[in-house]
Amino acid sequence: MPFIDADTAVRSEYDVIVVGSGAGGGQMAYTLTMNGARVLMLEAGRKYDPVAETPMFQTPEMAPLRGSVTTDKPFGFYDATVDGGWQVPGEPYVQASSDPANRFDWWRARMLGGRTNHWGRIALRNGPYDFEPRSRDGLGFDWPVSYADMAPYYDKVELLIGVFGSNEGLENTPDSPAGCLLPPPKPIVSDLLIQKHSAKLGIATIACHRAVLTQPLDWKNSPAKLHPGNRAAQAIIARDMQRRAACIWATPCGRGCLIRANYQSPTVHLPPALDTGRLDIVTDAMVVEVTVGRKGQATGVRFIDKTTRKDRRATARAVVLAASACESVRILLNSKSAQFPQGLANSSGKVGRYLMDTVGSDLAGQVPRLESLPPHNEEGATGGHMYIPWWLYRDQAAGKLDFARGYHVEFGGGRRMPEMDTATGLEWLTGGTYGVKFKEDARRYYGSMVYFAGRGEMIPNEQSFCEIDPDVRDQWGIPVLRFHWQWSEHETRQAAHMQKTFAAIIDAMGGRVQKPAESDGTKAIHTGGSIIHELGGTLMGSDPNTSVLNKWCQAWDVNNLFVADGAPFPSNADKNPTLTIMANAWRVGDHILDRMRRKEL
Ligand SMILES: Cc1cc2nc3c(=O)[nH]c(=O)nc-3n(C[C@H](O)[C@H](O)[C@H](O)COP(=O)(O)OP(=O)(O)OC[C@H]3O[C@@H](n4cnc5c(N)ncnc54)[C@H](O)[C@@H]3O)c2cc1C
Ligand code: SF4
């Protein structure tokens, strides 16, 4: 199961090069190697072993500044992102405008497994409507594939990575076939209160779907469903499933999980792929461009070995980019040659276009009924146990809303391990107390806050895109991205609607809002990119003149070049994107294998 060095990779022969080791790259490497392909994975970040490195049980007082948020560690000292964040030293990106309304924030995790090491693990399926948004309301783009095409791959990904949740039969909120989902954890006290009072407003609150093992995986039955007829793959994954433990309900998932109870690419996708003996991984390998042959086919990639700063080239029969949406765009735009002067796969001029994020808006409240509860532990499967799926499809269809597309609500509360900032910012409740009275107040209000975060669909637009900056290069000499960004009124009005909803729920609970609900959507909405769900840039479609990839995420212009992260997405449904990135990568991987068997690649 080799991690190899760049020199060895350059001398070896591969069927496929996969760039990136996150959700898309991890799934692609798994699918290909389990079915016989020889794969080289090139990852720009360092080697990272969650089993050895996760600070799972460390408490706040063991960390500098008691683990508080700093510029280097925006999610706190123990967060799993060991290299990266909003800024990567020596690897800048550029804003096209200095207006804050047009800013795009870009989160990058330079490490094996990328952002899957600390993602929120919310793993929702897109529904049938989400694949045909343009047909429904005339905006944006339809996918060239339907929910029916994707459903078998959602089933497989859920079985493989382990996702808890429930089937509720709600509109455009798909149920999974029996046996796919693990049982959800119990709601915590604030969840039950939110559920009770949201119901009065006609809003259903159901179990969240998150990639956390609430019980061991079904290693006896699932392998045959995952790999029908492939005994070797079944044996590998059955063995690996037994090595993953169930959640112990006690430690923050954002640090990663050394018992492998939640999904991270390096604990779930990469170990079985490495066990096949067909996966080689080179870390610290920064891919610069896809190289092309005389007939315009991809021959491999050029990358920089960051340990020596040397230029290297690796070759393969096919190349899959899964470096995260914007990084895959960057690689394509930097792959300029006499044959492809505007970058590779870009004859349509659409590479970098239709960049999307998720609409985000938050509100907090305090609920007297939750004050001074007897001490109890509500750590749970850290992260939400419940959520609110979009519930206003009918009102929207009847023209009662002033925006298109919906949002879901993630919420939290409860009594978790106190941290450095647990008793800060209470003045709006206490009026400002000190000494013994402050300690009493801190105990009284601890666990009585509730938090609501809306996560909504953005419609792709012509003003939101990235391109290569003509002047700026990173420390490796690679031209960097410049971002253009604009929310439309659909998104800002949606953010204002979120605020109204959150305030109504808090009010129904007998609580008070921390700040008044913001009615101006342009103020309520978070900065572009800040929800870290960036998608788009290599649109998949049915017409080579208006899209970059065909329905198999294969470049129209380059037969053996594929993209398997979030870049091909034609829309960004309110559902968090990562489960769909994985399902789509598995689908595309199956197609690559099929074409290799037919000697078409
Ligand atoms: C705090 C946080 C919470 C989140 N919560 C959720 C959630 O609850 N649900 C959800 O669905 N999504 C969530 N996300 C988003 C989720 O992490 C991403 O959608 C997902 O990881 C994308 O997978 P990817 O493979 O496209 O990219 P990544 O996971 O980012 O992996 C890309 C990899 O490619 C490597 N790479 C980049 N450039 C190069 C290059 N030039 N050469 C070689 N390698 C390169 C990177 O180092 C990285 O390892 C969250 C993200 C964050 C940061
Ligand atoms: S809560 Fe569960 S899944 Fe999350 S890190 Fe802790 S043990 Fe792992």
Q: What is the pLDDT of residues 27-69, one digit of tens each?
A: 999 999 999 999 999 999 999 999 999 999 999 999 999 999 9
- The predicted pLDDT at position 1 comes to 46
Residue 67 DSSP class: G
Ligand 2 neighbour 333 (Cβ under 6 A): no
Residue nearest to atom 47 of ligand 1 (CA): 110
- The predicted pLDDT at position 149 comes to 98
Tokens representing residue 85 in the block: 């964040």
Distance 411 CA to ligand 2 centre (A): 18
> Hey, what amino acid is at 385?
H
Q: What is the pLDDT of residues 246-301, one digit of tens each?
A: 999 989 999 999 999 999 999 999 999 999 999 999 999 999 999 999 999 999 99
Distance 110 CA to ligand 2 centre (A): 22
Tokens representing residue 394 in the block: 């009918």
Distance 115 CA to ligand 1 centre (A): 4
Residue nearest to atom 1 of ligand 1 (CA): 119
Ligand 1 neighbour 327 (Cβ under 6 A): yes
Please choose, from the candidates 64, 187, 45, the residue with its C-alpha nearest in 3D space to the C-alpha of residue 116: 45
For residues 305-311, give the mean pLDDT. Answer: 97
Q: What is the pLDDT of residues 577-591, one digit of tens each?
A: 999 999 999 999 999
For residues 507-513, give the mean pLDDT. Answer: 98
Confidence of residue 319 (pLDDT cuts 50, 70, 90): very high
Distance 536 CA to ligand 2 centre (A): 31
Residue nearest to atom 9 of ligand 1 (CA): 122
Tokens representing residue 28 in the block: 């692609």
Please choose, from the candidates 515, 404, 520, 340, the residue with its C-alpha nearest in 3D space to the C-alpha of residue 138: 404
Which is higher by pLDDT, 1 or 547? 547
Q: For 366, phi and psi rounded to 5 degrees? A: -125, 140
245 alpha carbon, closest ligand = 2
Residue 295 DSSP class: T
Contacts of 179 (CB under 8 A, 6+ apart): 159, 218, 221, 222, 225
Beta strands in 194-324 (DSSP E): 206-207, 279-282, 285-292, 298-305, 310-321
What DSSP element (H or E) covers 327?
A: helix 325-334
Ligand 1 neighbour 126 (Cβ under 6 A): no
Ligand 2 neighbour 212 (Cβ under 6 A): yes
- The predicted pLDDT at position 72 comes to 87
Top mutation candidate among 186, 212, 385 for ligand 2, by most atoms within 8 Å of CB: 212
Please choose, from the candidates 261, 6, 130, 99, the residue with its C-alpha nearest in 3D space to the C-alpha of residue 574: 130
Contact 190, 414 (CB under 8 A): yes
319 alpha carbon, closest ligand = 1
**Cα 262 versus chain centre, distance:** 14
Contacts of 505 (CB under 8 A, 6+ apart): 194, 197, 198, 201, 203, 452
Tokens 């798909």 -> residue: 174
Ligand 2 neighbour 450 (Cβ under 6 A): no
For 126, 185, 573, the CA distances from 173, given in Å and listed in that order, are 7, 19, 11
* CA 69 – CA 383 distance, rounded (Å): 18
- The predicted pLDDT at position 421 comes to 85
- The predicted pLDDT at position 475 comes to 97
Q: What is the pLDDT of residues 364-392, one digit of tens each?
A: 999 999 999 988 889 899 899 999 999 99
Ligand 2 neighbour 262 (Cβ under 6 A): yes
Under DSSP, is residue 420 helix (H, G, I), strand (E, B) or coil? coil
Distance 23 CA to ligand 1 centre (A): 7
- The predicted pLDDT at position 326 comes to 98
Residue nearest to atom 8 of ligand 2 (CA): 257
Could you tell me the pTM of the whole model?
0.98
User: Mean pLDDT of all residues in the chain?
Assistant: 97
> With 70 as the cut, is the pLDDT of residue 537 above it?
yes
Ligand 2 neighbour 161 (Cβ under 6 A): no
Contacts of 248 (CB under 8 A, 6+ apart): 259, 261
Confidence of residue 592 (pLDDT cuts 50, 70, 90): very high
Contacts of 381 (CB under 8 A, 6+ apart): 164, 185, 210, 212, 214, 247, 249, 253
Confidence of residue 419 (pLDDT cuts 50, 70, 90): confident
* CA 284 – CA 120 distance, rounded (Å): 25
Ligand 2 neighbour 261 (Cβ under 6 A): yes
